[in-house]
Every structure is written in C-alpha cells, then in structure tokens.
A and B are shown apart, each in its own frame.
Chain A
Amino acid sequence: MRVEPVLLAATEPGNQPVHYAAASGVFSLSWLLIVLPLAGAAVLLFGGRRTDRVGHIIGTLTAAASFVLGLVLFATLLGRDGDDRALSQHLYSWIPVNGFQVDVGLLVDQLSIVFVLLITGVGTLIHIYSIGYMAHDPNRRKFFAYMNLFLASMLLLVLGNNFLSLYAGWELVGLSSFLLIKFWEDRPAAATAANKAFYMNRVGDVGLALAIMFMFATVGSTSYADVFGAAAAGVIGYGTLTAIALLLLLAACGKSGQFPLQAWLPDAMEGPTPISALIHAATMVTAGVYLIVRAGPIFDGTQAARTVVVIIGAATILIGCVIGCAYDDIKKVLAYSTVSQIGYMFLAVGLGPAGYALGIMHLLAHGFFKAGLFLGAGSVIHGMDDDQDLRHYGGLWRYMPITWVTFGLGYLAIIGFPGLSGFFTKDRIIETAFDKGGTSGYLLGSIALLGAGITAFYMTRLFLMTFHGKPRWSSEGPAAKHPHESPVSMTGPMIVLAVGSVFAGGLFVLGHSLQDWLEPVAGTGVEGVHTFSPVVLTLLTLVVTAGGFAGAYLRYQLRPVESVARPDTEVSLVTFAARHDLFANTFNETVAMRPGQYLTRFLVWLDLVGIDGLVRGSAAAIGGLSGRMRRLQTGFVRSYALSMLGGAVLVVGALLLVRAG
C-alpha cells in the first residue's frame, strides 16, 4: 500500500536534465588515479626480474599515491556545493565512427569518489599486507603487478563517464581477477577456477555489451549524460528500458556472484588470500551493485526489472547463507558469506532510490569488515601452514591474539552486533524491505531477517571453530602445527580494517551523512509510514541474530567438534545439498558443459567426416578420373601447370570470342 510514494520518489532525481560540469583544477588530474597504478603494473611487468627486489615497494607506493590523490579530490569535492559535485573530464576520442562516438572520459562525482576511496584505500592496505603474506613467493613482483593492474581497471570501471569505458574496466577487472585466481598456476584447481570465473563473467559481459548496443540504437550515444538524460526524460519505451535494465542485471549478477551466476565465486578462493580480500570481497564483486546504482535512472523507470533485482537479491541471500553453514573451508565459508552479503546489497538497490544509498552503505561497510575477515583468515592460514580446514583449528585465540581481536571485531560487525557497522547498515536494509509494503514487503523483509539469523549462525560457527574450543591440531608428530601471530605488515592492515568495521557504519548513518552525500546521484526515498517501528524491528533483528548465535554456540562451543566431517551419507539432505553448492555446479555441468562437450565432439567429427568428407569424396571421384587421364603426367605440379596453361588459353579464347562478338 505504500508502494506508491516510493515509486513517485523514484522518478524525482531523474527529472532534472543530466549535466556534468567540465573538470578543472585538481580534477583535471583525475586520470592520474588510474594511470599511477597502471604505470606501476607496466614497470613491474615489462621490467622483468630486474624489478624483483623493488616490485612490492613500487606497487604499494603507486597504490598509496592514488589513494592520496583520491583523498585530495574528495576533500575538494566536500568544499563544493552539493549540486556541483559531478565533474566530467574528456580525455580523448576513443572509437569515433560517424554516429557512434565514444570518448575516453572520466566522471568524478559523489558516487565514484566513494568507490575511489574504497578501492585505493583497501587496495593500499592489502598491498601492505601482501608484502608480508607473499614474502616468500618467488613471483611476488608479478603479484603486485597484477594487483596494480586490478586497481587501475577497477578505477576505470567506476570513473568512466560512459558505458563503454565502464565496459572496458568491467572486462579488465575480470582479467585481473583471472590472473590472480590462477596466480599459483601450477595448481590445476587454481587454473580451472580462474577459467571458470572468466567464462561465467563473460556470460554476464554479454549482457552488458547488449545493453550498450540497445542504448546506442535507442539514444545514439553511450555516455551517461545522454543515456540518463533520455531515461529520465521518459522518452525510452518501457520495453526497451526494461530490456536494458535486465541486461545490465545479467552483467551485475556475473560480476557480483549473484544467482544464477554465483558458482564461480567460491572457486575463486583458489587465489592467494589477499586477492580474496581485495577482489573477491571488498571491491570487484561489488561492481554489480555500483552498476545498478549508477544506472539508477534506467532502473527507476522500470518496476519490472527492479522486481527481478530484489528477487535475485533475496534468493542469493538465502543461497549464500545456507551453503555458508555447510563448508569447513574457512575461505569458502567467507566466500559464500560474501555472496549472501552482496545479496543484501542487491535487495537494497532493487528497492529503488530508497535503497540505493543503503546498498552503497552496506557495500562500504562490507568492504571493511569482509576484507578484514579475509585478511584475518589469511593470517590464520599463514600460521597453520596453509591448512584451511576449520576442523583442524580450535583454540587459536591464545596463539594469535591480534588476529583474534581484529577478526572478532569483523565478525561482530558482520552479524550486526549493536553499534558496529553491520548493525547500522544491515538493519536499515531489512527495515526498508519491510517498508516496501504489501505481501512482497513482508516476504522480502522476512527473508532478510532470516538471513541475518543464519549469518549469525554460520559466522559464529566459523569464529568458534577457529579461535575457541579445544585445539584439534597437534604441536607434535608428523603433522605438527606451530601457530604464531603474523608480522606487523600483516597485522597493521588488519587493525586498520577492524577499526573501520567498528566505526564505518555509524559514521555513514550519523546524521544521514552518506545518504545526503549520495543524494544527487542516488536520489532519496520518502520517509513513509513504517511497517514496523524502527525500534521494534531493531529488537526483532537482535533477537533473530541472538538466536543464530545461540544455535551455533550450543552446537560448536558446548559440544565438541569432530576433527573430521561426517561423510555425506550420514548428514541430512539439506546439509548434503549445501555441501554440494545446492547443486549449482551439477546443474551447470548437466545443462551447459556436458552438452557443449558432446556438441563439440560431434562437430569435430562432422567437420572431418561430413563437410570435409563430402569434399574429399567428390575430389576422390574426380581424382580417379584424372588418375586415368594423367598417365603421361608425373605429379601434381605438372598437372597444375597444365591446368594453368589450359586456363590461360581459355581466358584468351573467351576474350577473343567476346571481342569478336
């Protein structure tokens, strides 16, 4: 019943013509944001082994320089008027063909600058962390080169001022992700995971490419200004607008590991842990959320597409949560947690302008606590000689206190402990879902609420199995483990991120600061009538969360944990399904991979026997004939020469005839 006011508000920000001021002053240096890490990558890749000793320093410094520049730009933006904070910079004409004019250009505005700070900030921290984490890897230089390449690509993605620049960044982050997942490429699993990630992302990329083609065919341009201007003016038909939005959504699902393209993300954990933190938790996988918010003027005009967005978000929340409970691999649990947290973001942005800012808020908070959790996991794995199995951990708090505390804060933040980041950002999403009103509002709100409870369960399970309970490892014997705290270069970034996990959420919510900041891009929802009063809903959420916590505490703290998981035959059907990713891989294999393989084999056969065979068959028939005619000849060359001669005679004769005629 309160669907209407929200919808009305939806069109509000778009009603003004979209216009970006030209970048000047310090903003004309925006391109350096991208070029700095790109130059770092180029130096490290082309410099070869000569740069081995300084690779990590160059990589970290260029990332940090980009971050500092981002801060300067942010500060300058703060000093400008609210409606004068979008600056577009034309760099050069990229693909000009008559009506199709695409430039390389950047847009610094409230939305992109927030991402710039997240990407370069978390990026720099993870660079520093990796100095220690990758210290003994012979290819550390390459690792930093790829990370820099990733930063440059991701910055291009969020800074581009047209959809084709975004697409370039979009595919290039896919490349960086591919390179880093298969970083230890002598492991077949890593190489396979990298390919899988690229393939599934390409499916999404098809969506983005087609969306851009639709835009060009409709509006004659791919620039944000033109496309959003036309979308806001309402001149694009509803069908076209919905098609574009759904294609964008397909792209977003691919990049963000959302249903039905979620299966690659857990496999991507084959990459080094800092990569899981940076790319597959904090930044790249949230690009789908960015895309939807950026394309807000398009989604605003199509209720149908937004409905699909919330459905996908809600479904993915549950998928991620359920599977997250079943895995014993610490990184896979965190990966499914990421899947489900991004589901929350999709749910939020699918709710329209009321949710855009909330989605971004949760994205930023998630960037802090999930990056922190992954770095903590990396520290644990580092201390446990690369063992990632939760069932082999236990009681580690005593041996790695800093990791315990920082990880603990991230854990409390993600389950929504009062006062920490997740508490503010996730609660608001649940609240807004309920406020959507009607049956769908109740349904979405309930799913989000349930998700909060399950999140508390599996995260508590993970936390307790790692840091508490009796040690399930031994410091003696052949498989002796000697857990130890990580070096300062690793714990430093973990501490910073933990601080962020604690305070970021509160900071964003305080006086609506982030919502107000984003308002010119994202618009605002109306403060309508609440389905539940915020206080009631907060209490409700806390109860559900506490329930999840209690369940895990009873099961994994008060009862001993087996160091070997029960075999598949002895677990419930739900656990079995969850352990097998709810059969997503089985589905993909049955529906796409196997038939594809059979088709390929069939075509190879067909080409050899069918098409080529047909040709050869007729050739053989002729060959038999010519064999008899060729008695006086020796070999192909002579017959070729003869036929050439004959041909020439024929030509001359024909010409003479024509001439004569």
Chain B
Amino acid sequence: MNTVPWLTILLIVPAAGAVVVAALPRRHATLAKQLALGITLAVLVLAVLATFAYDPDKAGFQFGQSYDWISTFGISYSVGADGISLVLMLLAALLVPVVVLSSWDEVDGGDAAGTGRVPAPAPAPDAGGSPGQVGDGGIGGAGGIAGAGAGAGAGGVGGGSGGGTAVALAAPPVVTAAAPAQVATPAGRSVPAFFALLLALEAGMIGVFAATDVFLFYVFFEAMLIPMYFLIGSYGPVKEQAQRSYAAVKFLVYSLLGGLLMLAAVIGLYVVSADNLGHGTFDFATLRQMEITPGVQKLLFLGFFVAFAIKAPLFPFHTWLPDAGAQSPTGGAVLLVGVLDKVGTFGLIRYCIPLFPDAADYFAPLVLGLAVVGIFYGALLAIGQRDMKRLVAYTSLAHFGFIALGLFAFTSQAGTGAVLYMVNHGLSTGLLFLVVGFLVSRRGTRDVGAYGGLAKVTPVLAGVFLLAGLSSLALPGTNSFVSEFLVLVGTFTANKALAIVATCGIVLAAIYVLYLYQRTMTGPIVHEENRVLHDLGLREKLVVAPMVALIVALGVYPKPLLDIIRPTVTATYADIGKSDPAPTHPAAAHPASVHPASVQPGGHS
C-alpha cells in the first residue's frame, strides 16, 4: 500500500482534470460541471484512501517521492505527507467537490428557475483597463513560468481563463434573464473555465501541502494565486465590476508582496545551506537539521512570517480578506478562507517554527500579541458589519487569531488544537459562506438589512445557518469546540494571562454569530420579496449534508483526526526543545486515568 505514489496521484488528477475541462468548448457547460464533479470526487476518494494508508505513529514524512528538477540549484520535486499536511489535504479534497456542487448554477444561472434570481443587466464591459479582460496573452506565459514543469495545472488555467475572458469582450454587453443560460451567461462568463479554475486551485492546494522542497512549496504558493485571482476578478458579483477588480488586485498585490519576501527568505535559506553544508539545497528535511545563527534566523523567519501572516491573515495584514471574501463567488470564498488561508497557518508550523526555532522563540510574544488582538479585533469588526460576506471574513480573522495563538504557545495541546482548528474552521466557515451564498443567490444582496424573519420561510436553511454559526462560536458538540478548547487549555498551561484574555473572546463570538442570526432569520418579515423565497433544494441539501455531518461527528468523536495530528505536532515541538509544562500538583495515579508522558511522539494506545 505504501508504494503507491499517493501524493503525485492527488496532484496529477485535478491538474489533468483542469486541462481537460478548460479545453471544453463553452457550450458544453453541463459536461464541464459533471466532469469537474467526477474528478473532484475521485480526488476525495483517493485522499481518504491515502489517509487510511497513512501510519500516524511513524515519524517523518510518508508517501515520500523525490525527483531532481533543477539539479543545478538542488531544486527537486519532492513530496511527502505528515499528520498536519495530510489532514489539510483531506480538507481541500472534501471542500472542492462541495464547492463544485454548490457552484453548479452560479456561473450560468442554471435552468433559470433554479435559483429564482433575476440577473440584472450587466454593465457594458469597460474596455479601458479592467483586470481579467485585456492582455490575456501574458497570462499563459506567466502561468508557465510560475509553474514550470511541476505546475501543469497552473499553465492550463492561464490558458483556460484566458479563453474565457477573451470571449467576455465579444459577448453582448447586455444579458437578460430570458436568454438561454447555456449560451449567454451573466457577463458572458465561461462555465468550463470556471470549473477548470477550481480544479487548478485544487491541484495547487494539494501541491502546497505536499511539497517537501522549499522551492517547490514556493512555486505552489504563488501558483495558487492565479486561479484565485481569476475566480475573484472574473466570477465575482456581476454588478460590482469595479469592486471585484479592486478586490482581486488587492488580493494579488498583498499575496505577491508576501510572496516576494518569502522568495527572498527562500533564497537566503539556500545561501545559508550552501555555506553550511557545502552544497545548496531546498530539501526541507535537510534544512531542518541545519544550525542557523540566531541573527540570520530572525531575518529569514520574518521573510516567511510576513508572507504567512498576509496569507492567513493575521492582524494587521488582513484588510485584503474582507474585500476578497465579499467579491469572490461563493465557492471561491469557501476555498479562499477554508483552505487557501490555511496555507499561511500551515506555513507557520511547517516552516517558521521548525526551521527557525530561536527566531520563533524570539518573536513568539509578538505573534501571540497579534493573535490575541486579532481575536478581539476580528470579532468586534464582524459585529459591526452589514455585508454578510465581509462579516464572515472578519470572523475568520478572529479564528486565525486562535490558530496562531495555539501554534505559538508551544505546547502539544495548543498546537494539536490549532491544527485541528484549521480543519474545523474550513468546515464551519465554509458552511457559513455556503449558506450566506444561498441567501445571496436568492435575494441578490449581501446586505444584512435585506433579510429578517427568514426562519419561517426557509426553516431548513435557517437551521443549517444556525448550526454553522454554532460551530463558528465553538459550541460543545460541534467540531470547533474541541479545537478551540485545546488551543485555550494548551495556551493556559504555558501562559495563563494570555489564555484568560483569549477565553473572553468566546463571548464576542456568541455575539457576532447570534446577532447575525437574529437580524437575518428572526423577527417579522419586513421585505415582501422575502415571503416567496424557497427553502434549500435537493442540490443544496447535498452540498450542506457532508458539512453538517462532519461538524457534528468531529465534535462528538474527534479522536481519529487528533490521532493523526498529535504525533506530528508533538514531534515538531519536541524537535525544537519544547515540552508541555507538567501539572503543578499531579493527581495520584488512578486506574481510570493514566497520563502518559507529555512529550511522546508515539503516543499511547
């Protein structure tokens, strides 16, 4: 079983799928959707099989593969999975088919009656200089460069979307609802290109988690941006062209800025390795063993950290997120906040902490401070939002605060909780975005004031909305409670004051969730349009069902995931010499509760 190159398969299937779907003519919209769904479901099945093949108690990377790529610089195609990257790949593999299904009618309005939305006439494309509409020629080339060799998906995407946007100019400027959906989508959007972008994004996400070569990681890190950029810029809200262009560019500029800093640090790492080892390398396992002087560590740490802090994002690097979250198509927002942003937090524990332990120690107070500020800042801003998607984006800022807190508390409980939090946040916030998307697709506005009293009209939607919210506020019985409590209790053992302050954040979480629910779902119906909204349809129920099931299941029985995550996290902290503080007055050994040594990668049964 272990000779199966799981990760390469997981990479190639969506990448190849992206190329195939992108090559489909625009009129084959349905085929594109079906293909995309089939491919992403296949990836999910493969990811689950890989999880079963993974042995959590074995140290180091598994499913490892390594081939020279640019041997002159010691760059290789090296992939491998540990407990942390495996669960995040699993999350990506789960969310993409969910997003494909949820986006079924998003681009072309489906069978017209499907969503009941009446697309307003699209403004005439501004030929002047809107992003994503002109200059497509350059993109294919850029994709080719960024993803050279390994990033077949990225290259494919560039071409695919290039085709789509090119047609956008040719399409009639005004599209009415009566027009057949297959032929004229809102703003002349291409359906196959959209799904090809999703597939390319999936390949990028799996690649970024699977890479064990730092340069390969950087390549995927940047390559992921491209499909996301087009998802926002070309498939965001039809009526808000200027805003979505702005959001897409902002997202890109922020990410590129971070990426450049990281690139500098990556090169710096290479230089250091060349000095230390006599030959430069990007191999993570080798770099990890290397001693780096504290001063250099600090510089390199900051290069990686800023990139990750922008990506995650942490306060105060967050202002791109609300714009991107609001202007993404729903599926894009789910993947952006659910998975893409996790690359930032993943990078913190995969790269920042083990590669630069002294610097991580040195900067820990700063990170912890930003994390706690983020918890409150994100929560308070979420309370103050009227745009539902921006609101959800701000709640994520608070959640990322909890994750960063857990990662830099340096205890196995907090770290394990933080990694589990990454998965759980993908589920809970993903579901929140999906449900908000359902609402927006029905009413055509993100303004919370346009709703109210919907629980009577759409009880199932309201129920799912509430459950997603309860998971977001970490109610016991839902998945997020386990991770949030682990983060807090783990932080508490290391730093009481910080944990006490952070725990007070759970009151604000209750407010932003329930205040949103109150404004949208309860009270009398004040807008007549809301009386005729229909409840979740079969497709939408299929979309939310796996999320709802996992939110409850992982709340009641999180052990399977914890058993995968815990050994890797424990080993990561043990490697940098961090062990869990022992209880001050341990209870006498009791037959019902035997406590294993706190730092023990192998764990207990």
Chain A residues close to B by CB (< 8 Å): 17, 20, 45, 48, 88, 90, 92-101, 103, 164, 167-168, 170-172, 175, 178, 182, 185-188, 190-192, 194-195, 198-199, 202-203, 205-206, 209-210, 212-214, 216-221, 223, 225-227, 229-230, 233, 235-236, 240, 596, 599-601, 603-604, 607, 611-612, 615, 619, 633-638, 640-645, 647-648, 651, 654-655, 658-659
* B354 beta carbon closer than 8 Å to chain A: no
Expressed in whole angstroms, the Cα–Cα distance for A638 and B249 within the complex equals: 12
Closest A residue to B394 using CB positions: A607
Contacts A223-B592, A644-B145; A658 near B135 (Cβ below 8 A) = no
Indicate with 1 or 0, residue by residue over B406-421, a CB within 8 angstroms of chain A CB atoms. Answer: 0000001100110000
From A226, A233, A642, residue with most partner B Cβ within 10 Å:
A226
Whole-angstrom distance from the CB of B292 to the nearest CB of chain A?
A: 16
CB pair A651 B475 closer than 8 Å: no
Whole-angstrom distance from the CB of B587 to the nearest CB of chain A?
A: 4
Expressed in whole angstroms, the Cα–Cα distance for A212 and B499 within the complex equals: 12
Whole-angstrom distance from the CB of A31 to the nearest CB of chain B?
A: 13
CB pair B412 A97 closer than 8 Å: yes
Whole-angstrom distance from the CB of A47 to the nearest CB of chain B?
A: 12
Expressed in whole angstroms, the Cα–Cα distance for A620 and B111 within the complex equals: 43
Contacts A221-B593, A644-B145; A615 near B475 (Cβ below 8 A) = no
Contacts A167-B476, A607-B381; A635 near B485 (Cβ below 8 A) = no
Which B residues are in CB contact (< 8 Å) with A192? Answer: 518
* B456 beta carbon closer than 8 Å to chain A: yes
CB pair B413 A99 closer than 8 Å: yes
Closest B residue to A600 using CB positions: B384
Which A residues are in CB contact (< 8 Å) with B559? Answer: 92-96
CB pair B592 A225 closer than 8 Å: yes
Q: Within B147-206, which residues are at the interface with A (CB < 8 Å)?
A: none
Which B residues are in CB contact (< 8 Å) with A633? Answer: 135
Expressed in whole angstroms, the Cα–Cα distance for A599 and B377 within the complex equals: 10
Contacts A195-B515, A205-B506; A96 near B412 (Cβ below 8 A) = no
From A88, A96, A168, A615, residue with most partner B Cβ within 10 Å:
A96
Expressed in whole angstroms, the Cα–Cα distance for A601 and B385 within the complex equals: 9
CB pair A229 B588 closer than 8 Å: yes
| Choice from A95, A99, A188 contacting B522 with Cβ under 8 Å | A188
Which A residues are in CB contact (< 8 Å) with B596? Answer: 98-99
Whole-angstrom distance from the CB of A291 to the nearest CB of chain B?
A: 16
Q: Within B566-605, which residues are at the interface with A (CB < 8 Å)?
A: 566, 570, 580-588, 590, 592-593, 595-600, 603-604
* B261 beta carbon closer than 8 Å to chain A: no
Which B residues are in CB contact (< 8 Å) with A205? Answer: 506
CB pair A600 B590 closer than 8 Å: no
CB pair A226 B417 closer than 8 Å: no
Given A96-B559, A100-B486, A599-B380, 8 more contacts at CB 8 Å? A99-B412, A185-B455, A188-B523, A199-B510, A213-B489, A213-B503, A229-B587, A651-B263
Which A residues are in CB contact (< 8 Å) with B135? Answer: 633-635, 637-638, 641
Contacts A98-B413, A100-B413, A601-B384; A191 near B503 (Cβ below 8 A) = no
Expressed in whole angstroms, the Cα–Cα distance for A643 and B603 within the complex equals: 48
Q: Which of B5-13, B95-103, B267-275, B324-332 contacts A (4 or more CB under 8 A)?
A: B267-275
Expressed in whole angstroms, the Cα–Cα distance for A640 and B280 within the complex equals: 30
| Choice from B475, B504, B570 contacting A175 with Cβ under 8 Å | B475
* B89 beta carbon closer than 8 Å to chain A: no
CB pair A99 B598 closer than 8 Å: yes
Whole-angstrom distance from the CB of A6 to the nearest CB of chain B?
A: 26
CB pair B587 A643 closer than 8 Å: no
Which B residues are in CB contact (< 8 Å) with A640? Answer: 138, 142, 229, 252, 256
* B3 beta carbon closer than 8 Å to chain A: no
Which A residues are in CB contact (< 8 Å) with B590? Answer: 223, 225-226, 229
Indicate with 1 or 0, residue by residue over B202-238, a CB within 8 angstroms of chain A CB atoms. Answer: 0000000000000000000000000001000000000
| Choice from A172, A178, A195, A615 contacting B477 with Cβ under 8 Å | A172
Contacts A205-B506, A225-B593, A659-B280; A98 near B514 (Cβ below 8 A) = no
Indicate with 1 or 0, residue by residue over B117-133, a CB within 8 angstroms of chain A CB atoms. Answer: 00000000000011111
CB pair B562 A95 closer than 8 Å: yes
* B73 beta carbon closer than 8 Å to chain A: yes
CB pair A172 B138 closer than 8 Å: no
Expressed in whole angstroms, the Cα–Cα distance for A620 and B198 within the complex equals: 32
Whole-angstrom distance from the CB of A172 to the nearest CB of chain B?
A: 6
Expressed in whole angstroms, the Cα–Cα distance for A92 and B416 within the complex equals: 20
Expressed in whole angstroms, the Cα–Cα distance for A75 and B135 within the complex equals: 82
Q: Within B484-522, which residues are at the interface with A (CB < 8 Å)?
A: 485-486, 488-490, 492-493, 496, 499-500, 503-504, 506-507, 510-511, 514-515, 518, 521-522
